[in-house]
Amino acid sequence: MDVLEAVNKRKSIRAFKPDPVPVEVLKKIVEGALHAPSASNSQPWELAVVSGAKLKEIKKGFLENPGRPTVDMPGAIQYPEPYASRRAAVMSGALNLMGVAREDKEARVQWGLQGAKLWGAPSCIYVMIDRVFFYIDDKINIWPAFDCGAITQTILLLATENGLGSIPAIQPVLYPDLLREKLSLPASKLMVLGIPIGYPDWEAPVNRLRTTREPLDKMAKFY
């Protein structure tokens, strides 16, 4: 598969088959992704690839109401325009395909729980960085987060090349303390995002979602 084909084929998958992904395939993807660029080749990412009983334990923990969700990485609390409209389009697109009405609170809660279950994925790659490099003189160092984005996209593309589906997502890291406890990690390991990965369930309506993109002439100027 060439790069452009992988770029075009990749999309976020929100329903997976339970079939496990062979660990050799996961290793191949992660090893390949380690070639992603990073500022000064600092390679600030740390990856936890979790499957099997440990992942089941994590999913169970997420479903047992572990308290208020929180995040290690400061993120968007508000979406001004034009970002709000783009976000709304993805959310309503997914809910429509699932047959969930906007006003049906219970159905929306149930759909939200799918995220806690990692949409049924048999594996999840957690992307982390160490606190010591994320805060410098009490200020946020944005570069390692950027680098984590680079390795994340590389993982997603290699997953596509290997016939796997994936989704970069915040929902899998909404209880970072629980993750650190289950994975025996120190408090210094900050959870950036999770990448549920596995074989897509193409029968699931939600996987028909195709998000749109703004056109080239709106997003890029050529000088």
Ligand X SMILES: Cc1cc2nc3c(=O)[nH]c(=O)nc-3n(C[C@H](O)[C@H](O)[C@H](O)COP(=O)(O)O)c2cc1C
List contacts with ligand X (CB under 6 A): 11-12, 14, 90, 115, 167-171, 193, 211
Alpha-carbon distance of 220 to 87, in angstroms, equals 21
- Residue 22 or 112: the one with the smaller Cβ distance to ligand X is 112
- Residue 81 or 138: the one with the smaller Cβ distance to ligand X is 81
Rounded to the nearest 10°, the torsion over CA 14, 193, 3, 27 is -100
Min dist CB 176 to ligand X, Å, is: 14
- Residue 61 or 186: the one with the smaller Cβ distance to ligand X is 61
16: left (phi over 0), alpha (psi -120 to 50) or beta: beta
- Residue 13 or 49: the one with the smaller Cβ distance to ligand X is 13
Min dist CB 209 to ligand X, Å, is: 7
Alpha-carbon distance of 117 to 112, in angstroms, equals 9
Q: Are 198 and 121 in contact (CB under 8 A)?
A: yes
Min dist CB 87 to ligand X, Å, is: 8
Cα 155–chain centre separation = 11
Alpha-carbon distance of 153 to 22, in angstroms, equals 21
Min dist CB 62 to ligand X, Å, is: 13
Q: Tell me which H or E stretch contains 51.
A: strand 46-51
**Could you tell me how many residues make up the chain?**
223
Min dist CB 213 to ligand X, Å, is: 8
- Residue 23 or 92: the one with the smaller Cβ distance to ligand X is 92
